[in-house]
Structure 1
Amino acid sequence: MFDVSFSELMLIGVIALIVIGPERLPKVARTIGHLVGRAQRYVSDVKTDIQREMDLDELNSLKGQMEDAARSVKSSMQTASDSLREPLDDARKALTEASASIENLATTVTEEAGPAPASTEENNASSDSDDTASAPVSLPDATAQDHENAAPQEDTATLPLPGFDDQDTTTTHTGKPS
């Protein structure tokens, strides 16, 4: 702090001995030592407080940066999630509409077609198999023209989904067994 050499300290000590006297010099020296010690501790405490404030400011700025980064990551994740959900919701809606359309078409076709006359071979085959299994319903000529691009006319509960042709490889594009 102060640049005081040993010779300067000796000079101050001699002057203090002459001015204060030999009886009171030890008390004054002790008091001055305590005051210098307190001053050093006070300066040290002030330095520590200033350093803490600087560190606190750095931590607050770092905290702000981390919060901004977290918000950025959260918003990008939300955006990505939303962009993935939209096609899935659209596909789900399209599948639901297609399923309802197929069910309506199947109901309409079965109502319009009525019971189909069975040939003798089909009667023999149906009597040998379960009563729940039935032959595919064929469309009359008038409705066949209306429904050229319609789905196969089989039981809709057993129809394979588009893209899942590996389950039933015996049907053709017309819906009739090959």
Structure 2
Amino acid sequence: MIDIGLSKMALIGAVALIVIGPEKLPRVARTVGTLLGKAQRYVADVKSEVNRSMELDELRKMKDTVESAARDVHQSVQTSATDFQKDWDTSIGGGIDDASSPGVSSGSAFDHGTVVPAYKNPGKNWRLKRGATPQWYKARAGVRTKAQSGAARVARFRPQKFH
């Protein structure tokens, strides 16, 4: 970087005082200060953007590693599940057809032809339940009973100005 000491700054100030003059020097110094401030802010913005992009690249790499690990886990679970299914089918198929095993009949509930119905939600109406709640309970619990737009809500809770 540029190494500017106190003696060099004094020399630059003396030359600026002679060249620019004492009337215009404060205005020029103010302008130079604002330009330096803008340059520093620009450099800081560029640095933060570079840091952000580096962090984004690191996050992408981390995301890729996590996704690959998840794929590996999914694949291993899938293969173990298929192996278990094959073992289960062979053990169930061998045990049911085996007449020598006591207590197991061929007409048991584990027949492959039996279809078990899937769970079905009873379909309760949550709106009806919500409407059955008393108003005093809703007021105490803080449940909103009237819809209000965002602008109206802001206007409602804005502090009043005193004249």
The TM-score range, normalised by the shorter chain, is 0.5 to 0.7
TM-score (norm: length of structure 1): 0.55
Q: Which residue of 1 aligns with 2:7?
A: 7
Tell me if 1:20 matches 2:20: yes
Q: TM-score, normalised by structure 2?
A: 0.59
Cα deviation for residue 94 of structure 1 reads 2.3
Q: Deviations over 1:32-68 (max 9, x none)?
A: 0000011011001101100110010011001100100
Percent of residue pairs identical: 46
Matched residue, 1:34? 34
1:161 alignment counterpart: 103
Question: Aligned residue for 2:50?
Answer: 50
> How far, CA to CA, are the matches of 2:33 and 2:2 in structure 1?
15
Q: Distance in 2 between matches of 1:87 and 1:66?
A: 31
1:16 Cα deviation from its structure 2 partner? 0.7
List runs of 5+ in structure 1 lacking aligned partners. 103-150, 152-158, 163-178
Q: RMSD of aligned C-alpha atoms?
A: 1.8
Distance 1:19 1:160 in 2: 114
- 2:90 maps to which residue? 90
Letter aligned with residue 28 of structure 2: V
* Count of aligned pairs between the two proteins: 104
Structure 1 residue 161, shift from structure 2 partner: 3.4
Segments of 5+ residues of structure 2 without an aligned counterpart are 105-163
Q: Which has the higher contact order (CA 8 A, sep 6+)?
A: 1
Matched residue SS, 1:2: coil
Shift of 1:95: 3.1
After superposition, the C-alpha distances for 1:17-43 in whole angstroms (9 at most, x for unaligned) are: 111110000000000000001101100
Match of 1:7, SS state, is helix
